[in-house]
Amino acid sequence: MIYFTALFAIVRRELLRFVGQRSRFLSALVRPLIWLVVFAAGFRAALGLSIMPPYQTYITYEVYIVPGLCGMIQLFNGMQSSLSLVYDREMGSMRLLLTSPLPRWWLLLSKIFAGVFVSLLQVYAFLGIAALFGITFPPIGYVFALPVLVCSGLMLGALGLLLSSTIKQLENFAGVMNFVIFPMFFLSTALYPLWKMAEGSPLLRDICAYNPFTHAIELIRFALYGQFNGMALIWVVTSFVVFMIASLWGYNPAKTMTNRKTG
């Protein structure tokens, strides 16, 4: 019960912070909606309706990029959560949290769960707005997408946690984010299918294929159509484990003391 009490408290704190930052919620919705309008208008003629299976039908470009934009919401939210971790560490609240008697891995995992919960609210709000404009998926897809979004959110949250463990000053965070978010987003299948990337450059296609964010997008895309992508799930879970282990090592107090002595 102590573990779940700590989890509930951390999630509640993150939710209250999110509710108090209305601009954060609006930006999380406006950003993908702008991308949806701009890219749909710019690339509809280029891709048209020639989208490959697993969909077993022709779909519009607007429908194709919606899962990618859902992943973008989670990606930015994961980076936003890591920014709050850096801020909490500078203010001292993070130090108080990590000195509690509970295991460090559970506290950090609870922080990731809190970010995932907030991202789920943002993603489903975006899907609701997209549905108002006629961009819909099978009803069962919205149900199947829930556990998938949790998995992708955990992976991206662990990535943000890893970044926060390497950033020592809040001023350096923006530069690191630009070197992570934009390459990870553009070198994925969020906006273009892999076969379209291969037409332009086989090297870019290979980079996209090994990008963990690509597999998170494909996992969401399949789930929204009520289908299961086992290979993408393996990639997402494996990436989450790797990022989480590296984050725990980064937040290891023994490592921190060693760095201070070296400095």
Using H for helix, E for strand and C for coil, what is the string for the chain?
Answer: CHHHHHHHHHHHHHHHHHHHCHHHHHHHHHHHHHHHHHHHHHHHHHHCCCCCCCCCCCCCHHHHHHHHHHHHHHHHHHHHHHHHHHHHHHHCHHHHHHCCCCCHHHHHHHHHHHHHHHHHHHHHHHHHHHHHCCCCCCHHHHHHHHHHHHHHHHHHHHHHHHHHHHCCCHHHHHHHHHHHHHHHHHCCCCCCCHHHHHHHCHHHHHHHHCCHHHHHHHHHHHHHCCCCCHHHHHHHHHHHHHHHHHHHHHCCHHHHHHHHHHC
Does the pLDDT value for residue 55 go beyond 60?
no
Going by pLDDT thresholds of 50, 70 and 90, the confidence category of residue 172 is low
Could you report how far apart the first and last alpha carbons of the chain are, in Å?
A: 41
Q: What per-residue confidence (pLDDT) applies to 242?
A: 94
Q: Is the pLDDT of residue 53 over 50?
A: no
Share of the chain above pLDDT 70, in %: 76
Angle between helices 104-132 and 61-91 (to 10 degrees): 150
pLDDT of residue 261: 46
Residue 91 has pLDDT above 90, yes or no: no
pLDDT, residue 154, reads: 93
pLDDT at residue number 56: 47
pTM: 0.83
When mean pLDDT is compared across 73-82, 121-130, 249-258, the lowest value belongs to 249-258
> Is the CB of residue 61 less than 8 Å from the CB of residue 48?
yes
Average pLDDT score over residue span 106-133: 88
pLDDT-derived band at 42, boundaries 50, 70, 90: low
